[in-house]
Amino acid sequence: MQQGSQSQVIVLNQNSQREQGSKAQLANIRAAKAVADIIRTTLGPKSMLKMLLDPMGGIVLTNDGNAILREIDVKHPAAKSMIELSRTQDEEVGDGTTSVIILAGELMAVAEPFISQKIHPIQIVGAYYRALEHALKSAEAIAKDVNIEDKEAIAEIIHSCIGTKFSSRWGDLVVDLAVNAVKTVYINNGGKIEVDTKRYAKIEKIPGGDLEDCTVLNGVMFNKDVTHPKMRRYIENPRVLLLDCPLEYKKGESQTNVEMMKEEDFTTMLKLEEEEVERLCSNIMKFNPDVVITEKGVSDLAQHYLMKQNISVIRRIRKTDNNRVARVSGATIVNRPEEIQESDVGTKCHKFEIKKIGDEYFTFMEDCEEPKACSILLRGASKDVLNEIERNMHDAMAVARNIIIDPKLVPGGGATEMHVSKELRKIGQTIEGIQSQPFQAVAEAMEVIPRTLAQNCGCSVVRIVTDLRARHAQESEESAYFGIEGNSGEIKNMKECKVWEPLAVKRQTFKTAIESACMLLRIDDVVSGLSTKKGGGKPSSGVPQLEE
Ligand SMILES: Nc1ncnc2c1ncn2[C@@H]1O[C@H](COP(=O)(O)OP(=O)(O)OP(=O)(O)O)[C@@H](O)[C@H]1O
Ligand SMILES: [Mg+2]
């Protein structure tokens, strides 16, 4: 190509689309608002449910922010990043996934005038970060401590967090289940607290039966049956042996060839294999177990030997289930049968039973001495209801975990947001220069939570929010606790209505919302549709379409 001064160097592929500068920012703001609008109605105790059809044709019926956004398919990159937010929130603290999106959407929306006024985004971002710092401080200032030994108090908090959910119709069901489950898996190891509900509290859903049958087992269950119909299905005080090796003759790691010259050689080989299995089984039988559970397979021959000793065998149990069984029975999972010791045998589980529910067999290991794992058995009329209860259980357990790890509470019902908003306004007045306005805008954005709550319970939004603002402005000791009672839509003291939220959730909500809004505002270039056909240039190398 001739190096002429007129020739145009095209760096970007021509198929790609590009938005730059404030155009990109405004588009991102629109996308963020659109995502927030999708789930606006699902905030609070009078929230609406959403019914979503997934690509496979299944339906999801929920008002959990994260669950809704997870199902919908969006194209705009900024919207995608918003959806990631709610996932982060869900993984970090489990609750507040709706609030975070609404707040982030509003923070983007209030930035729109500044972008149009050509205030540099970095100034807006700077102001937002300053506001975040003050917001966290003022939320912490009104937090109160909670005694985690007090089961009633914890139940109350979970109740107010789950009160916004579909399952709140069945009263305390989910709350009780969550409290029990979390209490079971709670380990205080000399000050090091561990609450691993993900690993050790498993939710098992079995359609059919009544909701009243939902329980937290004092032990675990899993969807398996004994390998041989003649084996015992009910054992009291069983000795439990857990393995993660196959009870079969060992095959070579890599492909092995054996050349045989004589006819007897084949018989010898088979015999050796049998002896191997027999040896394996005799190692096990030495310890007189009643139940042997393995993650791998059990050959027919091994079953035969164990059967003769009146041992019940369960095979191909999942690793995660095996870990839970180990916790409830006190057994250690063993890999080499020849190295079993008496201490590896679990005796802490007092009932082994296989029950038939519906047309499937389930193994129950119950009546355990201080089980540090549990299964939560959910029964209900339909799969959709069970799925929603499961999601609610996750929220409830997350809330319980948050309080146990960080026992501080802030008032709900928009009270905290209103308080933070008021404090930010006050501080904003002392800030000079260009950041003052965006700082005040954060204060304004915080009001979106009480406003949305008011909207969702169908009362006159402007009047209630103005009223609430006035109450908070009174500067009395109690004023920070006034919020919107979500069921009646009246302004009440949240201390009296007992609507509380963990500080950890609020803190994470503010952080995630503001940080992601900042991230989106700092984007000044959106390049999409990069073709994969040929490496048409280096889009990251700054200015894509250079004219020479
Ligand atoms: N009884 C109540 N009265 C008023 N506000 C309430 C009440 N219960 C909860 N809230 C408020 O509702 C909001 C929580 O609503 P919701 O649980 O629907 O959404 P989320 O927690 O943000 O997201 P998700 O639970 O879907 O992950 C919080 O701001 C909380 O303070
Ligand atoms: Mg919630």
Here the CATH number for the domain that contains residue 491 is: 1.10.560.10
Of 95, 290, 321, 395, the catalytic one is: 395
Residue ID of nearest Cα to ligand 1 atom 12: 44
pLDDT value of residue 530 = 58
CA distance linking residue 19 with residue 363, whole number of Å: 59
pLDDT value of residue 375 = 94
Span 81-104, pLDDT tens digits: 888 888 888 888 888 999 999 999
323-341: average pLDDT: 93
Q: Is 98 a catalytic residue?
A: yes
Span 373-415, pLDDT tens digits: 999 999 988 888 888 888 888 888 888 888 888 889 999 999 9
pLDDT value of residue 531 = 52
Which residues are found with C-beta within 5 Å of the ion, ligand 2? 95
The closest-lying atom of ligand 1 relative to the alpha carbon of residue 67 is 26
Higher pLDDT, 332 or 190: 332
Residue 348 lies in a domain: yes
**For ligand 1, mutation pick of 99, 397, 455 (most atoms within 8 Å of CB):** 99
Residue 430 lies in a domain: yes
pLDDT value of residue 498 = 85
Q: Are residues 358 and 434 in the same domain?
A: no
429-443: average pLDDT: 91
Q: Are residues 75 and 127 in the same domain?
A: yes
Q: Is 97 a catalytic residue?
A: yes
Taking the centre of ligand 1 as the mean of its atom positions, its distance from the CA of residue 216, in whole angstroms, is 25
Residue 337 lies in a domain: yes
Taking the centre of ligand 1 as the mean of its atom positions, its distance from the CA of residue 485, in whole angstroms, is 11
Span 240-255, pLDDT tens digits: 999 999 998 877 778 8
Residue 332 lies in a domain: yes
The closest-lying atom of ligand 1 relative to the alpha carbon of residue 163 is 8
Span 24-70, pLDDT tens digits: 889 899 999 999 998 999 998 888 888 888 888 888 888 888 888 88
Residue 376 lies in a domain: no
Q: Are residues 364 and 292 in the same domain?
A: yes
pLDDT value of residue 548 = 34
Q: Is 384 a catalytic residue?
A: no
Count structural domains, the chain. Answer: 2
The binding-site residues of ligand 1, defined as CB within 6 angstroms of any ligand atom, are: 42-45, 47, 64-66, 95-99, 160, 163-164, 395, 412-413, 449, 453, 484-487, 499, 501
Would you say residue 537 has pLDDT above 50?
Answer: no
Alpha-carbon distance values, 104 to 38, 246, 425, 431, 497 (Å) = 13, 52, 19, 23, 28
Whether 107 and 512 have beta carbons less than 8 Å apart is answered as no
Q: Are residues 423 and 509 in the same domain?
A: yes
Higher pLDDT, 547 or 154: 154
pLDDT value of residue 49 = 84
Neighbouring C-beta atoms of residue 271, cutoff 10 Å: 11
pLDDT value of residue 3 = 53
Of 42, 62, 90, 98, the catalytic one is: 98
Distance, C-alpha 531 to centroid of its chain: 36
Q: Are residues 291 and 349 in the same domain?
A: yes
Residue 324 lies in a domain: yes
66-85: average pLDDT: 87
pLDDT band at 535 (very low <50, low <70, confident <90, very high): very low
Which of residues 352, 370, 388 is at a domain's end? Answer: 370
Beta strand segments in 3-90, E:
8-10, 17-20, 50-53, 59-62
pLDDT band at 543 (very low <50, low <70, confident <90, very high): very low
Q: Are residues 230 and 361 in the same domain?
A: yes
The closest-lying atom of ligand 1 relative to the alpha carbon of residue 162 is 17
Would you say residue 546 has pLDDT above 70?
Answer: no
Taking the centre of ligand 1 as the mean of its atom positions, its distance from the CA of residue 68, in whole angstroms, is 16
pLDDT value of residue 459 = 85
Would you say residue 451 has pLDDT above 80?
Answer: yes
Phi, psi of 524 (to 5 degrees): -120, 10
433-437: average pLDDT: 90
* Cα dihedral sign, 346-347-348-350: positive
Would you say residue 547 has pLDDT above 50?
Answer: no
Q: Identify which ligand lies nearest to the alpha carbon of 414.
A: 1
Q: Are residues 86 and 34 in the same domain?
A: yes
The closest-lying atom of ligand 1 relative to the alpha carbon of residue 99 is 22
pLDDT band at 532 (very low <50, low <70, confident <90, very high): low
Higher pLDDT, 20 or 203: 203
Q: Identify which ligand lies nearest to the alpha carbon of 89.
A: 1
pLDDT value of residue 57 = 82
Distance, C-alpha 456 to centroid of its chain: 25
Mean pLDDT of the chain: 87
Q: Are residues 365 and 436 in the same domain?
A: no
Taking the centre of ligand 2 as the mean of its atom positions, its distance from the CA of residue 153, in whole angstroms, is 18
Residue 169 lies in a domain: no
Q: Are residues 309 and 448 in the same domain?
A: no
pLDDT value of residue 166 = 78
Phi, psi of 414 (to 5 degrees): 85, 0
Helix (H, G, I), strand (E, B) or coil at 379: strand
Residue 165 lies in a domain: no
Would you say residue 533 has pLDDT above 60?
Answer: no
Span 279-324, pLDDT tens digits: 999 999 999 999 999 999 999 999 999 999 999 999 999 999 999 9
Q: Are residues 488 and 434 in the same domain?
A: yes
Which of residues 312, 342, 370 is at a domain's end? Answer: 370
Which of 88, 113, 110 lies closest to 101 in space, CA to CA? 88
Which of residues 313, 336, 370 is at a domain's end? Answer: 370
Residue ID of nearest Cα to ligand 1 atom 6: 413
Of 42, 62, 95, 97, the catalytic one is: 97
The closest-lying atom of ligand 1 relative to the alpha carbon of residue 95 is 27
Look up the domain containing 364 and give its range: 220-251+267-370
Q: Are residues 225 and 138 in the same domain?
A: no
* Cα dihedral sign, 281-286-290-292: negative
| Residue 479 DSSP code | G
pLDDT band at 508 (very low <50, low <70, confident <90, very high): very high
Helix (H, G, I), strand (E, B) or coil at 197: helix
Q: Are residues 232 and 341 in the same domain?
A: yes
The CATH number of residue 323's host domain is 3.50.7.10
- Following DSSP, what letter does each residue of 264-328 receive, concatenated? HHHHHHHHHHHHHHHHHHHHHHTT--SEEEESS-B-HHHHHHHHHTT-EEE-S--HHHHHHHHHH
Of 42, 62, 64, 367, the catalytic one is: 64
337-359: average pLDDT: 92
Taking the centre of ligand 2 as the mean of its atom positions, its distance from the CA of residue 533, in whole angstroms, is 46
pLDDT value of residue 157 = 85
Max alpha carbon distance in the chain (Å)? Answer: 101
Q: Is 467 a catalytic residue?
A: no
507-513: average pLDDT: 94
120-143: average pLDDT: 93
Non-local CB neighbours of 106 within 8 Å, separated by 6+ positions? 36, 445, 448
Span 452-480, pLDDT tens digits: 999 998 888 999 999 999 999 988 888 88
